[in-house]
Amino acid sequence: MKAIFIKELNGFFSSLTGYLVIGIFLIITSLFIFIFKGEYNILDYGFADLAPFFLIIPWLFMFLIPAVTMRSFTVERNLGTLEMLSTRPISTKKLIGGKYLAALVLIIIALIPTLIYVYSLGQLGETPNNLDYGSTFGSYLGAILLAMSYTSIGVFSSTVTSNQIVAFLLAAVLCFIFYFGFDGLNNYLADNDFLASLGLKYHYESMARGVLDTRDVIYFLSVAVLFFALSEISLKTILSKR
């Protein structure tokens, strides 16, 4: 798995993919929270709080992560190297795990420079460093857990098709459904939070408020494990037919 992980991570940075993902993420978040006027501008927000930044993240991840993962297995299938990889002494689980971890690490690397936002906001307040750092870093944890779920969905999507565009669109749609779908159904049908609690939005917003609940962590890990397992089933099905 280590060899697959290193190969995939090097692949991101030996091409423009890694740099584009990091650059686009930082440029868009900077524009929204510092330049563009509106509800996401932290200078207009009135509080020493990065809440607007963490509201943008689910939307950006919904497109950036599928863009990162869409090549995971589609390229292997198109080049005919999937069968070759399957003959090597590495399990399907480790093969998926290496690609999954590489994509996740790239997203975490993109998040690291945003810590400058924390420092900047701490210095901009009337009282320096008057920032709830516990809540802020709890929100970062929520963002990483959300990335874990989105990445797992993206890797799964790349196993069910050999077309990168289809893999991207499928991953984006599944991420949208799992993030907004259950919340929308809850508002339309029940309005009792049960259906909402089945979606990513409910648990992410809970963590974005700085509330660290083990139930939220378990939920995100469960979604990641679910789609990881589906990826393994999908890949084994493809290989069994060849």
Distance, in Å, from the CA atom of 232 to the CA atom of 157, rounded to the nearest integer, reads 11
Residues of the chain falling short of pLDDT 70 = 45-48, 79-80, 82-89, 124-130, 190-191, 241-242
pTM of the model: 0.91
pLDDT in tens, 147-177: 999 999 999 999 998 899 999 999 999 999 9
* Res 45: pLDDT: 65
Residues 6+ apart with CB under 8 A from 31: none
Please, where are the H alpha helices in 1-90?
2-14, 17-30, 42-45, 51-69, 74-79, 82-86
Identify whether the C-beta of residue 95 lies closer than 8 Å to the C-beta of residue 85. yes
pLDDT at residue 111, rounded to an integer: 94
Q: Which of 193, 187, 157 is nearest to 175 (CA)?
A: 157
Burial class for 140, CB neighbours closer than 10 Å (0-12, 13-18, 19+): buried
Report residue 160 CA to chain centroid gap.
Answer: 19
Percent of the chain predicted with pLDDT > 70: 89
Distance separating alpha carbons of residues 31 and 37, to the nearest angstrom? 9
Give the span between the Cα atoms of 44 and 46, in whole angstroms: 6
* Residue 33 confidence (pLDDT): 86
Residue pointed to by tokens 């992980």: 5
Q: Encode burial over 204-221: b for 16+ CB neighbours within 10 A, e otherwise.
A: bbbbbebeeeeebeebbe
Count of CB atoms situated within 10 Å of the CB of 8: 19
Residue type, 31: L
